[in-house]
Amino acid sequence: MSSQIIPVDPFDYVVFGGSGDLAERKLLPALYHRQIEGQFSEPTRIIGASRSALSHEEYRKFADEALKKHLKKGEYDKAEAEKFCARLYYVPVDARSDGGWDQLKKLLDEGKDRVRAFYLAVAPGIFGDISKKIADHKLITNRTRIVVEKPIGRDLSSALLLNETIGKVFKEEQIFRIDHYLGKETVQNLMALRFANALYEPLWNANYIDHVQITVAEAVGLEGRAGYYDTAGALRDMVQNHILQLLCLTAMEVPNTVDSEAVRDEKLKVLRSLKPIDASNVEQFTVRGQYRAGASTSGPVKGYLEELEGGVSNTETFVAIKAEINNWRWAGVPFYIRTGKRLSQRVSEIVITFKPIPHTIFEPAAGRISQNQLMIRLQPDEGVKQSLMIKDPGPGGMRLRNVSLDMSFAESFNARSPDAYERLLMDVVRSNQTLFMRRDEVEAAWRWVDPILKGWEETGQSVQGYTAGTWGPSQAIALIERDGRTWHDTL
């Protein structure tokens, strides 16, 4: 079963950093899939732009290799790849000089009426330079949008500056701040689950929900990104953006519509209601970890410091936080967050644990009554699970058992699960900002994260070692067990 594909208007996508890692691994394969599924209208072009001196032909070859390398088995089709590569162009440009910009303008002038999207898959340090060059060379039409990748700042003041710089050239409705977690199928499904069913919303509050857990665990280590990662750490890399977005979609009030402003207004209110964590309580509510040598599924792996090649570092590769939302709906309901690299397995999930039943009518021999849980699995095996207590079948008297209604999207729909970028890249062309972060959201997220960073600095809270391939430092287990709860067993 697959949904109907509605073609988008013809477009020119200009990818700055077009020969870089993101373009190679994610953007080109995602655009290829959209072509195969019939979403493009002609004429549509993808224009790579970066400092490398490549010809159109060399860029097409690069893209073809990227598809062969990064598409899943059986997805590469020679004829489709040729058709895809034929729509690719390349212009060498320098963000800091005028080199290449006239050539880019000439190419874009051939498609003046098309949607024009500039994708900045480059270091944030040159967002401002590129935006200015785009304006100076008069490349902005009334159908132009700009897409920016994280990190949007490394703290509140740098985020304000970055937003300010881009905002000088583009209007807010032209700026698409991408958070690829929002493009994941299950994240969008969270809205369907909450707002297209009568079942959950009446229970979705502090009267019925005991606590929420958000886990984004990765099995990988630094993947050659030490230079960036060591200056960021897990809080900046994952919590400020992806995890806070998941928390917002879980906790927000029902928006009036799925319109981008309505949804983002509600998310913003959640961010603004987060209970502050600062030097006074940071040690109580947060745990920082750093992996040591251990094992992954593929064998022994180095520790973080060894991956840094002998460096000394207090950067966290794991963080656990007990967050709280100071509003009527969520008063007293903890949101436990954890994320880290080199954990036991790759899994991202949101688990809602409901309160215990108020009174039991069953004899102790019937067994323990577990609290109901709703598990929303983002990856791998996207799906939704609802645990329920039932009577164990058979004549043995009343014995209770905890079972799950388990829906795996892959099994239920027998459809390819599109990569998050596919949906988001097309939303840019359609000019739908619902799944993109608005300026005030990014800034509100930093307003909560900044005092945690400062708190760590002021208190000197250091990283706790954990063995690669485990679930993080023991202090993270203690963080939740102090409250009489345990982390959800993801296995």
Beta strands in 179-238 (DSSP E): 209-217
DSSP class of residue 325 equals: B
With CB under 6 A as the contact rule, the residue among 210, 237, 307, 441 that binds ligand BG6 is 237
3-class DSSP state for residue 3? coil
The DSSP result for 5-29, as a single string, is: PPPPPPEEEEEETTTSHHIIIIIHH
**Amino acid code (one letter) for 138:** K
Closer residue to ligand BG6 in complex, CB, 235/333? 235
R_g of the chain, CA atoms, integer Å: 24
Q: Which sign, positive or negative, has the C-alpha torsion 377, 267, 479, 367?
A: negative
Tell me the closest approach of the beta carbon of residue 409 to ligand BG6, in angstroms. Answer: 16
Tell me the closest approach of the beta carbon of residue 210 to ligand BG6, in angstroms. Answer: 27
Tell me the closest approach of the beta carbon of residue 367 to ligand BG6, in angstroms. Answer: 37
Cα(226)–Cα(465) distance, integer angstroms: 18
- Helix H or strand E encompassing 252: none
Cα(249)–Cα(243) distance, integer angstroms: 10
User: Catalytic pick from 33, 180, 211, 242?
Assistant: 242
- How many helices (DSSP H) and strands (DSSP E) are in the chain? 18, 18
Closer residue to ligand BG6 in complex, CB, 166/238? 238
Q: Which sign, positive or negative, has the C-alpha torsion 46, 28, 186, 261?
A: negative
Is 180 tagged catalytic? no
- Helix H or strand E encompassing 386: strand 383-391
Closer residue to ligand BG6 in complex, CB, 180/288? 180
Tell me the closest approach of the beta carbon of residue 371 to ligand BG6, in angstroms. Answer: 28
12 near ligand BG6, judged by CB under 6 A: no
Tell me the closest approach of the beta carbon of residue 237 to ligand BG6, in angstroms. Answer: 5
Instruction: Please give the residue whose beta carbon sits closest to ligand BG6 in the complex.
Output: 237
x/- map, 207-226, ligand BG6, by CB under 6 A:
-----------x--------
374 phi/psi in degrees, rounded to 5? -110, 120
Closer residue to ligand BG6 in complex, CB, 185/218? 218
x/- map, 151-180, ligand BG6, by CB under 6 A:
-----------------------------x
Task: Give the interface size with ligand BG6 as a residue count (CB under 6 A).
Answer: 3
- Return the residues of window 261-300 that contact ligand BG6 according to CB under 6 A: none
Active site residues: 242
Residues contributing to the site for ligand BG6 (CB under 6 A): 180, 218, 237
